[in-house]
Structure 1
């Protein structure tokens, strides 16, 4: 059924999805006016649909008048194979890594041209970490992202190579340098970053495969510096990644 928004042919479902899609890592809380603008909907249409989403539990209205994602969407998200399968299987391995290193540990999958963080354990050492569960970060500036990018289809890599934005002074923005780095990832079996996403934070990551098949996820750590500890961290990550891969059922990457 079509509504009466700016796009005459847009269905009610597409408008609801536009409202939900307006939320991202930088827009976790929005007024109705901002939400309508980001969803490209008339204010009256957004008001009506947002009220229905609040009633259903997909959105929550704060006392300040801003809207945030509601608990019911979170509950639905937990039913996703990424959450219920990969995250559940990987959880004990992440806790083992955290216990052995006290470092921040990440589990991520590729979502289009971004790294989607599906689990995270915060380390004891104070390190600037911008990721959180559910956040999406650039593939080219994170350890887990470089692993996923190295194993991504050609069209994904081509898009990334033409959209390299500087995040810190150390972010790799030259396509040639990034291509060389990805070749090293494939050759050595791990990726690393040095203050490329956050100043004062370095990372190292390895791929997770199911039964020797394609890469389905990446496992990484964030530490203040790598130095001589890199071989030890890589070895610990690889053991955990192999354990996760062996524990995942075939088809879990679907």
Structure 2
């Protein structure tokens, strides 16, 4: 995670906070734990700098050091992150309806928000025997490839849409949308139909149907989706279930707190 260019010092490592954020930003789903040298390499900081800062990060609880000598994200950091209002408050209000949808279908149920030009998954409930998915709670994904992403992009500000449509487009399967004109057409259909369908765009065995969740201001605040095995159900039948859940979550999100 690069530091602010304007506040970096002459040695190129940035101020203390910037260096700490670069160390924390080095962790990802593909690299959840690392050695000191790997942390230095991924953060772009000298080994001596990383080693010096690890003591404070561990003492605060942002990082933990295992018996194997590898470093991983600490529980204290997770506790702080869980307080993010867009995630925590939304998740709390949506969870009963997500669980209902999961119990009815026994499929994967997901709740996501948009951050910039990416999807961020707030919650994911895995159904018993459901098709494997690449998403995870707290994970990010491309807006143009997923059902929730297409919903969020269809209702995003025009400047966000144009940035995304300007590419590049990451291809996951041979069916992943990569033509801006085709994406525009799909986004128009999402707005007209009220839901999105992502057919084998992420994996060749999965189909996703998603619908928008509206906040108190009437703007789209999130998206909810069902992800099933391709060919196991029609998108139209799934859409009825997802739309019902989305409307229920919208009412819960818009309701004043008691």
TM-score by length of 2: 0.90
1:140 paired to 2:144: yes
The equivalent of 1:247 in structure 2 is: 252
The equivalent of 2:22 in structure 1 is: 18
The equivalent of 1:42 in structure 2 is: 46
1:121 paired to 2:125: yes
> Which consecutive unaligned segments of at least 5 residues does structure 1 have?
none
1:64 paired to 2:103: no
Deviation at 1:230, TM superposition (A): 2.1
Pairing 1:67-78 to 2, within 5 Å after superposition: 67-78=71-82
Deviation at 1:26, TM superposition (A): 2.5
1:175 paired to 2:209: no
Question: Number of paired residues?
Answer: 250
SS in 2 for 1:141: coil
Q: Deviations over 1:71-91 (max 9, x none)?
A: 111111121112331000000
Partners of 1:187 and 1:32 in 2: how far apart?
A: 51
Pairing 1:91-240 to 2, within 5 Å after superposition: 91-161=95-165, 162-211=167-216, 213-225=218-230, 229-240=234-245
Q: Deviations over 1:164-219 (max 9, x none)?
A: 12111111111111111111111111111111111211100000002461100000
Tell me if structure 2 keeps the 8 A contact 1:57–1:71: yes
